[in-house]
Amino acid sequence: KQEVTQIPAALSVPEGENLVLNCSFTDSAIYNLQWFRQDPGKGLTSLLLIQSSQREQTSGRLNASLDKSSGRSTLYIAASQPGDSATYLCAVLTQGGSEKLVFGKGMKLTVNP
């Protein structure tokens, strides 16, 4: 059974720091991995999608990498801003026919001005 872990559960940093958010998964048989952002009381916003054949994806200040063989992904946020404060979730799309996303429990990020 696929399990996705995000450690730590929360992180508080001063503005301007470069951040690395970690995600690990137990079964390397995945099709892709998505990073999402969730603001309080809001829905999930897709940030980056990495296909299993890819090593990384970039969007603006965000860069996500994937090491499928070791079951790890990282989301790098450059020059963090208070507006980056949110909960970040990673999810893997597992093989098995249901196209189900298996989510980590998320990491709550607070960027202080």
Partner 1 sequence: EAQVTQNPRYLITVTGKKLTVTCSQNMNHEYMSWYRQDPGLGLRQIYYSMNVEVTDKGDVPEGYKVSRKEKRNFPLILESPSPNQTSLYFCASSFVGYHEQFFGPGTRLTVL
Dihedral sign from CA coordinates of 82, 16, 13, 112: negative
Q: How far is the CB of 84 from partner 1 (least distance, A)?
A: 19
d(Cα 98, Cα 76) in Å, to the nearest integer?
Answer: 30
Q: How far is the CB of 50 from partner 1 (least distance, A)?
A: 10
Question: Which residue number, 34 or 80, has a Cβ lying nearer to partner 1?
Answer: 34
Which 3 state secondary structure label does DSSP give 81?
Answer: coil
d(Cα 20, Cα 106) in Å, to the nearest integer?
Answer: 14
Contact between 100 and partner 1 (CB under 8 A)?
yes
User: What are the phi and psi torsion angles at 83 (to 5°)?
Assistant: -65, -10
Contact between 8 and partner 1 (CB under 8 A)?
no
Q: Indicate which single residue of 23, 77, 101, 111 sits in contact with partner 1 (rule: CB under 8 A).
A: 101
d(Cα 14, Cα 65) in Å, to the nearest integer?
Answer: 24
Total number of residues binding partner 1 (CB under 8 A)?
23
Contact between 42 and partner 1 (CB under 8 A)?
yes
Residues that bind partner 1 (CB under 8 A): 31-32, 34, 36, 41-46, 49, 51, 89, 91, 93, 98-101, 103-106
